[in-house]
Structure 1
Amino acid sequence: MSLKTINELTPPGQNQTVKLRITRIWEVFIPTTQRNLGIAFLAFDNQGQGIHVHIPESTADKFRPMLMEGMLYHVSRFQVVNPYMTHLTVIRNYGILFNRNTILKPIPDDPAGYPRHFFHFDNDEKLFELANSDKYLTDSYGVLVKIVVAENILIPKQNKTGKKEVIIKRISGDEMKITVWEGCFNQMDDDLLLSLNPPLVLIFDAVSVRTFRDTIYLQTTSPTKIYVDLDIPEKPQIEAVNESLAPANATIAELLSFEPKKIQRTIFKAEVTVDELNLNNGWYYKACNLCNKKVNEPEGSPINCTYHGEKIVPRIKMRLPIRISDDTDSMDITIFDKEAEQMTNTYITSLMSNGGVSEEKVPDGVLNILNKKFRIVIGLTQRAVEENSPTYKIYDAVQVIDIQKRKEMTLTNSQTKEDDDNDKELEKGDTLSSPIDAFVENDLFPSVSPLKKKKTR
C-alpha cells in the first residue's frame, strides 16, 4: 500500500496508507439523547492539510486506548467517504471512516513537521453561509470582555443543563457572543480569567454558527475546545485590542452606586486603605477539599460536608472580613484564600509546616494589613449579579508603599544589617564574611524581619 498525502486520497481508500498527526479528539454524541456515536478526531499531514476522521461506536473500543492528541500515526485499511456526518471540523469533499479492519500504528517520529493546532477563522460573510446548519463548524478568537452565567434551562428530551454567555472582542473591534453549554464549563476558570489584566485571548475551536434577528452568535458543541492565550499568528494584532479593555478606575462611591444587573461581571481598579479587620469569627475556616464550602463539625460525629458527606479532607482556608475606604466612601468586603494570603503575605501552607494554626494566635501579617494602602482589582461575584446585590470580590491586590517610606525602610534595613555585621565581627573575631554578602544590595530586602526588629529596639 502506497503512502499518500491527504490531497492524494481517493475513494474508496482501502488500499491506501496515510501518515497523520492527531490535533484534537472528541466523543461524538447526539445532543438531545446523549447517545454515543463513536469517536472523531481532526488530523493533519506534513503538507499542512487537514481531514476529519470518524470511528463508529461499534469499533471505537478497539481504537480508544490507542488515540492521543499530538501523536503521529500510520493509518491504513480505512475508507475514504463523502462526509455524510455533521459537526465537521474541516471543509473537505471527503473524510476518513474507520472500520474493523483499519490498522492504526503509533510511530515515534519527530512530529515537528506536522501542525499541532489548526484553526479556520471565518469572516462574517462565511459565517452567514454556515449559520443554522450543523454540517460544518468554525473557529473564533478574541479578547475576553465579559462572562454572564445564566440559570439552568430545560432542553427538550433532556434534564436541565447550564449555559453561560461569553463576550469576546474580535480583531475588527466588534463583539461576538458565544453560548457556552455546561459540557464545556470545565474548560474555563471564570474568576481567574476575569481577574487577569490585560485580558487574555481566547480561542473557541469547533463552534456552530447561529443567528438571532439577523445577528450572528456562536455556540459550543461536543467537539469544542477552548484555548487560552495560545500562540497563534493572529495574536499580535488581537493583543492591540487589549489596551482598550484594561479595567477602568473606580472609586468606592462609584462601585456602590453601580447596578449589578447592568455592570454584570465587569472588573475595576481601585486604590483603597484597610480601616478595620473583623476577627470576631476567627481568621480562617475549615473547608471541604472538593467544593471549598465550610465543613460541618457536629459534636460527637465526624467532620462532614453538606454536599460531599464524610469522605472529605478538610483544608484550612483564610477568611478575613475587612472594611476598605478611599476619599469617597467605605465598603465592607471579605477576602478569602489566595487573595487573603496575597494581601497579608501570610501563607497557610507555611504556617502548617511550622507548628500549625490556632484561633488564638493571629499571624502578624494578618494584623499588619490595618491602615495599609492597596491597589486592587475588584468585581462582582456571580451570586451578587443574580441577587442584584453590590457584593464585591477582590481578585488581586498589591500594597502601595510611598517613596519616602520605601527609603526609610531601606535605610532601616541597611542600618540593621550593619549592626548585625558588627555583632558577627565581635562574636567571630577575624573571621571573614562571605564574599557573596558584599555584592547583595540592601534594597533587595525592603522589609525588616521581626527578629531584626527586636535587635534594634
Structure 2
Amino acid sequence: MEYSLLSQINSTRHNWRIKVRVARSWHLSGTSKRRDFTALELILVDEEGVGITACVGENEIQKFSTSIVEGHAYFLRNFRVSRQTKKLNAVPSTYAIFFTPWTIVEEIPTEISGSLPLYIFNFVDFEDLDERARHPNGLVDVIGQLTVVHPLVQSNGLNGPSVRRNVELRDLSDRLLEITLWAEHATSFEDEFLIETIGKDEPVIIVFAGLNMKLFSGAPSCRSSAATKWYINIDIPEINAFRTSLQGRGCEVLLVPSDGAALGAANEADANRKSISELLSLNPHDNNDVRFTCDARIKEIDVSSGWWYKACSICRKGVKPTLQGFECVNCDNTEPIITPSYKLNVVIEDNTDRAKIFMFGGMAEQVVRRTAADLVEESSANQLLLPSPLRALIGRRFVFQIVISEQTFRTGQLCFQVRKVFNPPPIDGQNNGVHATLGNSLSHATLARTSGAQKKCDPTPLMEASGSSSNKASTLQTYGVTELPTDPKGSATPPPPFAHGAITKTSPQKGNEISEEHGTPVGKRSRSTRKELFSTKKVKASDD
C-alpha cells in the first residue's frame, strides 16, 4: 500500500496518505479570540524518524479521541496540511496536520509497524538552555540523571489553589537543572518514579519532553507545559550512552521530605495579616524579609507619570535610550525589540489608611487580563489617558502578599514589594467582583504612604480614554517560582515614561501590531473606535 513520508508532504495537496506512530498525545484547552477551546494534540513520527504535530480540533475530538492511542501506529489520510504557526511547537516542523470530518484512521498491526520509532526527541544541552530561554524557539527536551525530588508545594493565587513540585537533574558535566512541575504533573511524578525504580539499583536516567523555557529575573526557568511527558530508563541510544558515560557515579535519588510547608503554603493568603496602617508603622530593620498580607481595595490609578513604559521583549526590563536608539543592559542587547509593559501607580485603601502601590509587567497583566501592548493598540499611546480595562479595576479588592523592599534602606522611605496577589474572601457572602485570572507569575510592586491631602480629599477624577472596554481572557500557564525584581530597572522607582515613536513589534496576542519607530505614531485607534468617533462627530454637527 503506497504512502508518503512526512518529509514529502506539504500544503499543495489534500489527498496525502502517511504511515506514522503516535509518539505523544495530550489534551489542550484554553481561550482564543475570546472563546474557550479544547483540542487533542499529537506528535507523529514516521519510519525516517521525522516528526510532525497533528491537531484534532474540538469538532472532531469526540470522533477520534477513542480511536487514536499513544504508542500505536496508523495509516492516516484525508487530512489538512498547513504551515506551522505555533511559537511553542513540540517538534521542529515546517508543516502541521489538522484532522477534518473526512479524515480516515486505519490502525496498523503490531507485526508490521516495527519500522516506526517509538519515540522522537529533540534534546537541548543544559548549557544551551539559557539561550533558548532568551530566544524561545519551541518547547525543549532534556536528558539527565535524576538526583533530587522535592515535596509538593501548595499555594493560592488569582486562579485559586495550585500545586507544584521541583525536581533536579544533572548532566554528564555535573551541570544542574531544576524543573518545576505543575498541577497533575507535580502530583503524579513521585508515584510514577517509585513504581519505575523500586527495587532497582541503578541510576535514574530520565527524559523530560515538552518543557517550556522562559526568563525570570534574568535567569532561565524550566517548567512543565501541557505537552510535558517524562520517560524513565527507556531503551533508546541516548539514555544507553548516558548511562555508560556515568562511569560509576552514585545512583541515589534524594527524596526531600515534606516539613509541613506544603500545608502551610495553602494558607499564604491569610498569613501574617496586617492593615495598611500597621504596615506603614513597621520598623524595617526588625521586619526585613518577613512576609505580610494586606486586604485592600483599589481606590485610584494615578496616571500623572504614565501607565506603561518601554520594555525589552525578552527580559521585560526597561530599556536605556542611546544615540542610535535603545539598548537593554540586562540582556546586553544594543538593538532590542521594544514592547509596551505596565507600570501602574495604584492607590489602595482599607478602613485604616491609604497607600500607593506600583505594579509592573506580568503582575499587572494578570490582574488586568490584557497585555499593555493590547491596550496601547486599542486605545491610545497617550500616557495620561487611562484605558477602560484599567478603570474597571477601581473598586476591586485583592489580598496582597508583601515584604519590605531593600529600597527602603536606600531612600529612608518605607516601601514594600508585592510578591503575590490573591483573590480575597467575600464580604457578607457577596461577590466582590474580582475575576480570577490564569497565571501565578511572581512580580513585585512598591507600597508607600500617600500624602495627607490625598487621605483627606477624594482622588482626582481619572481621565477617560476611548477604546475597547472588553476584557479579553488570557491563557497564561501557572508560573511563579523565581521572584522578579521590584521594577523593570531593578529598583522601586518606576521607569521613565514611554516616549512617542517607540520601537515595538507584534504584541503577544495575535493581530495586535504596534507601530515601529521613525515617526510612526504608536497606539493607533482601532477601526471600530474611529468609526464610533466619526459617527459621534457627524451627529453633533447635525445638531448644531
CA distance in 2, matches of 1:242, 1:149: 29
Q: Does residue 170 in structure 1 map to residue 171 in structure 2?
A: yes
Per the alignment, do residues 155 and 229 of structure 1 end up closer, same or farther by CA in structure 2, a change over 3 Å counting? farther
Tell whether 2:206 aligns with 1:202: yes
Q: Distance in 1 between matches of 2:160 and 2:169?
A: 29
* Distance of 2:136 and 2:57 partners within structure 1: 19
Match of 2:153 in 1: 151
The letter for the 1-side match of 2:16 is Q
* Bigger relative contact order (CA 8 A; separation at least 6): 2
**Corresponding position of 2:74:** 73
- Match for residue 20 of structure 2? 20
Q: What is the Cα deviation at residue 236 of structure 1? A: 3.8
The one-letter amino acid paired with 1:118 is I
Distance 1:77 1:246, change over 3 A: closer
2:118 matches 1:116? yes
1:222 maps to which of 217, 221, 226: 226
Q: What is the distance in 2 between the residues matched to 1:83 and 1:155?
A: 34
Residue 537 of structure 2 aligns with which residue? none
- Partner residue, 2:3: 3
Q: What residue identity is the alignment partner of 2:227?
A: P
**Residue matched to 2:250:** 245
**Higher percent of residues as helix:** 1
Structure 1 residue 381 corresponds to structure 2 residue 257: yes
The answer on whether the counterparts of 2:165 and 2:181 sit within 8 Å (CA) in structure 1 is yes
Q: Percent identity?
A: 21
The answer for the alignment partner of 2:43 in structure 1 is: 42
Question: Distance in 2 between the 1:387 and 1:28 partners?
Answer: 29
Q: Structure 2 vs 1, CA of residues 89 and 242 (structure 1 numbering), >3 Å: closer, same or farther? A: farther
Paired residues of 2:126 and 2:142 also in contact (CA < 8 A): no
What residue in structure 1 maps to residue 239 of structure 2?
A: 235
Taking structure 1 as reference, are residues 236 and 18 closer, same or farther at Cα in structure 2, changes over 3 Å only?
closer
2:168 alignment partner AA = I
Cα pair 2:153 2:262 within 8 Å, conserved: no
* Residue identity opposite 2:211 in structure 1: V
Comparing 132-141 with 109-118, greater Cα deviation is found at: 132-141
Q: State the shift of 1:242 in Å.
A: 7.6
**Map 1:315-326 → 2, pairs under 5 A:** none
Contact 2:140 2:211 in 1 (8 A): yes
Once the two structures are TM-superposed, the CA of residue 36 in structure 1 deviates from its matched residue by: 4.5
Match for residue 82 of structure 1? 83
Q: Distance in 2 between matches of 1:233 and 1:68?
A: 25
Q: What is the number of equivalent residue pairs in this alignment? A: 258
The whole-number CA distance in structure 2 between the counterparts of 1:24 and 1:169 is 25
Contact 1:147–1:190 (CA under 8 A) maintained in structure 2 = no
Which residue type is aligned with residue 233 of structure 1?
Answer: P
Instruction: Rate the CA distance shift 1:105–1:81 in 2: closer, same or farther, 3 A.
Output: same
Does the 8 Å contact 2:132/2:213 carry over to 1? Answer: yes
Larger Rg: 1
CA positional deviation for 1:86 = 4.9
Cα distance in 2 for residues equivalent to 1:48 and 1:75: 17
Structure 2: state its 5+ residue gaps.
Answer: 265-544
Could you give the per-residue CA deviations for residues 258-298 of structure 1, whole angstroms, max 9, x where no partner exists?
Answer: xxxxxxxx74xxxxxxxxxxxxxxxxxxxxxxxxxxxxxxx
What is the alpha-carbon distance in structure 2 between the residues aligned to residue 31 and residue 219 of structure 1? 21
Counterparts of 1:215 and 1:200, CA distance in 2: 27
> SS at the partner of 2:162?
strand
Matched ranges for 1:302-451 at <5 A? 381-383=257-259
Which residue identity lines up with residue 160 of structure 2 in the other structure? Answer: N
1:412-443 residue CA offsets vs partner (Å, 9 max, x unmatched): xxxxxxxxxxxxxxxxxxxxxxxxxxxxxxxx
Structure 1 residue 167: Cα displacement: 0.5
Q: For residue 222 of structure 1, give the secondary structure of its aligned residue in structure 2.
A: coil
8 Å CA contact 1:145, 1:245 repeated in 2: no
2:216 matches 1:212: yes
CA contact (8 A) 1:146 1:194 kept: no
Distance of aligned partners of 1:167 and 1:34 in 2 relative to their CA distance in 1, 3 Å threshold: farther
